[in-house]
């Protein structure tokens, strides 16, 4: 597949992403050393979180830098071109699209750091800590549907007498609300639950947690690390890995 200018018709967001890479690329050498030492993680978010705990850079900046460099690497692979040629095409498009003072400043930094960015992308290798973490994140979400949010709502419904002058009894019931992403859009379903259903769900959740603990412990002596996906952020939804 031939690489041409139209393959990189940069929008405002892409220009900001490129400027971000250029601004923070000098930290990549330190990031790479830390990442190589700790090994692949289950997703780029987790990798960035662990790296940011050791350097004076916010998690979001580490994450966006890594994703930006990986996007450049994957683009070079997709177009079967060298990273240097890819950088030249992107630089030309960046120059053509940068219109605001902030974008022009980003372009200046990009040109200054272009060689360093190129070297960082060229240092990436198949199955290294960065590509391995990215692949693990993709595999974790390789499902038909991805759960986004779940709620159990409880309500009470009164049963009135025939003339509706008094309440004869009241029924407490539950509704399970599930919001999920099907790969195209977010959908929602609702199901009624009785007391037995709630008890069953509770038992199954406890059992699922125990099965994960048992499986992880049984693989502890293997040559690879085993992680229960998102176990580090079960109580911090803002830090959870998101679908790619």
Q: pLDDT for 212-231, tens place per residue?
A: 999 988 988 888 878 887 77
Record the tokens describing residue 194, joined without a space: 């009785």
- pLDDT for position 226: 81
Residue that is written with structure tokens 């999920």 in the block: 180
- pLDDT for position 6: 64
- pLDDT for position 184: 87
Per-residue tens of pLDDT for the chain, all 244 residues: 556 656 667 889 999 999 999 999 999 999 999 999 988 888 899 899 999 999 999 999 999 999 999 999 999 999 899 999 999 999 999 999 999 999 999 999 999 999 999 999 999 998 899 999 999 888 887 888 989 999 999 999 999 999 999 999 999 999 999 999 998 899 999 999 999 999 999 999 999 999 999 998 898 888 887 888 777 554 444 444 544 4
- pLDDT for position 129: 94
Q: pLDDT for 93-145, tens place per residue?
A: 999 999 999 999 999 999 999 999 999 999 999 889 999 999 988 888 788 89
- pLDDT for position 222: 85
- pLDDT for position 235: 41
CB burial readout 189-228, b (16+ within 10 A) else e: eeeebeeeeeeeeeeeeeeeeeeeeeeeeeeeeeeeeebe
- pLDDT for position 244: 46
* Whole-angstrom distance, CA of residue 207 vs CA of residue 201: 10
- pLDDT for position 3: 64
């Amino acid at each position: 597949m031939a690489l041409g200018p139209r393959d990189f018709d940069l929008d405002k967001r892409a220009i900001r992403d490129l400027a971000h890479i250029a601004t923070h690329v000098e930290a990549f050498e330190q990031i790479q050393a830390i990442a190589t030492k700790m090994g692949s993680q289950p997703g780029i978010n987790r990798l960035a979180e662990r790296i940011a705990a050791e350097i004076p850079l916010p998690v979001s900046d580490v994450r966006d830098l890594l994703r930006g460099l990986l996007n450049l690497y994957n683009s070079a692979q997709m177009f079967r071109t060298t990273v240097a040629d890819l950088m030249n095409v992107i630089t030309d498009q960046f120059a053509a699209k940068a219109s605001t003072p902030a974008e022009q400043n980003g372009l200046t930094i990009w040109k200054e750091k272009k060689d360093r960015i190129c070297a960082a992308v060229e240092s990436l290798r198949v199955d290294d800590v960065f590509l391995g973490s990215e692949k693990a994140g993709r595999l974790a979400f390789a499902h038909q549907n991805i759960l986004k949010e779940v709620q159990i709502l409880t309500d009470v419904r009164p049963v009135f007498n025939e003339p509706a002058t008094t309440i004869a009894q009241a029924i407490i019931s539950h509704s399970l609300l599930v919001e999920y992403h099907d790969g195209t859009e977010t959908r929602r379903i609702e199901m009624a639950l009785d007391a037995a259903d709630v008890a069953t769900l509770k038992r199954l959740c406890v059992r699922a947690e125990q099965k994960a603990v048992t499986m992880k412990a049984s693989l502890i002596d293997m040559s690879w690390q085993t992680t229960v996906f998102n176990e580090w952020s079960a109580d911090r939804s803002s830090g959870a890995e998101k679908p790619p």
